[in-house]
Amino acid sequence: MRTVIVSGASSGIGHATAERFARSGDYVVNLDIQPPAPGTREGSREGGGHVRWIELDVADWAGVRDAVDRVHAERGRLDVVIANAGISVRHGILDLTEEEARRTLDVNLMGVLALWRHAVPHMLRRGEGVLLATASVNGSRGYPLYADYNASKAGVASLCQTFAVELSPLIRTACVAPGAVLTPMQRAEYTDAMLQEVNERIPARRHALPEEIADVFHFLASPQASFVSGQQFVVDGAETAGATTAF
């Protein structure tokens, strides 16, 4: 049974991803600052897998190290790490405070770095492992009102490249860069009218479901993706595929 860590699995994309892996027989540890979504029980799943929660702030470097070491000590192996926990605050550049910007970078970028960094010794000792993370289309575009968030996600894409180059061939890395996904994060920031406006700008005419991102993670962690490393996978219903100006 593989041991899989997913950060931010109490909600949204992380929750769908943890359930996807557990359904296909993996032992999944959810590292999240908040308890699992209401109605989600810890324990075994149909399909043979298991999900449990450890309370953790991924911005706490030493806390992440201790949690990763503990999971490894208990399970004896660490196969896949999915650094997914993230936050976003919508604000113009002139409204941005130091505290907010540091928190975004601490959670979204340092949180990925800490989780991956502390998983590496365990994976190298075993001779294999897969490091995955949730980036965003925001990491490669200047989406207005998200300066700190955009920068954090560009940083995640960069970590994905460097970890792959330094740690291949034993460890593979990959990021999923979603476009708009209908999760509590989106619902917290947008009214229904704004969500509809976003849908109209996406060629697929809708948001992704969290399960559609989970399926991509499941593929990237599988032997079928054995030659995939160091790359970012955009999953955005063609949002970023086209030109923005019509002639």
114 makes contact with ligand NAD (CB under 6 A): no
Q: Quick one: which segment of 27-35, 68-76, 124-132, 216-224 binds ligand NAD (CB under 6 A)?
A: 27-35
Q: Which is nearer to ligand NAD, 25 or 184 (CB)?
A: 184
State which of residues 68, 87, 110, 132 lies at the interface with ligand NAD (CB under 6 A): 87
Cβ-based neighbours of 126, under 8 Å, separated by 6 or more: 77, 78
Long-range contacts of residues 161-168, Cβ cutoff 8 Å, at least 24 apart: 161/230, 163/116, 163/120, 163/131, 163/230, 164/229, 164/230, 164/231, 165/230, 167/120, 167/124, 168/229, 168/230
State which of residues 17, 28, 82, 88 lies at the interface with ligand NAD (CB under 6 A): 88
Structure tokens at 174: 């990959």
3-state secondary structure of 224: helix
Question: What would the x/- binding string for ligand NAD be over residues 130 to 159, using CB under 6 A?
Answer: ----x-x-----------------------
Q: Quick one: which segment of 2-10, 74-82, 195-203, 237-245 binds ligand NAD (CB under 6 A)?
A: 2-10
Write the CA distances from 82 to 3, 14, 243, integer angstroms: 11, 8, 32
State which of residues 3, 4, 6, 8 lies at the interface with ligand NAD (CB under 6 A): 8
* CA separation for the pair 166, 180 (Å, rounded): 31
The CB-of-169 to ligand NAD minimum distance in angstroms stands at 28
State which of residues 80, 82, 85, 164 lies at the interface with ligand NAD (CB under 6 A): 85
List the beta bridge partners of residue 13: none
Return phi, psi of residue 58, to 5°: -65, -10
149 catalytic residue (yes or no) = yes
Instruction: Provide the Cα torsion 84, 88, 93, 98; round to 10°.
Output: -80
Question: What would the x/- binding string for ligand NAD be over residues 32 to 71, using CB under 6 A?
Answer: xxx---------------------xxxx------------
3-state secondary structure of 70: helix
86 makes contact with ligand NAD (CB under 6 A): yes
Q: Which is nearer to ligand NAD, 186 or 231 (CB)?
A: 186
Return phi, psi of residue 188, to 5°: -70, -30
184 makes contact with ligand NAD (CB under 6 A): yes
Task: Return the exposure string of 190-204: e unless at least 16 CB atoms fall within 10 Å of the residue's CB, then b.
Answer: beeeebeeeeeebee
**27, 143, 146, 149: which one is catalytic?**
149
Helix crossing, 147-167 with 98-105: angle to 10°?
30
State which of residues 4, 5, 6, 13 lies at the interface with ligand NAD (CB under 6 A): 13
State which of residues 3, 17, 173, 183 lies at the interface with ligand NAD (CB under 6 A): 183
Residues lying near ligand NAD in the complex (CB under 6 A) are found at 7-8, 10-14, 32-34, 56-59, 84-88, 107, 134, 136, 178, 180-181, 183-186
Q: Which residues are catalytic?
A: 149
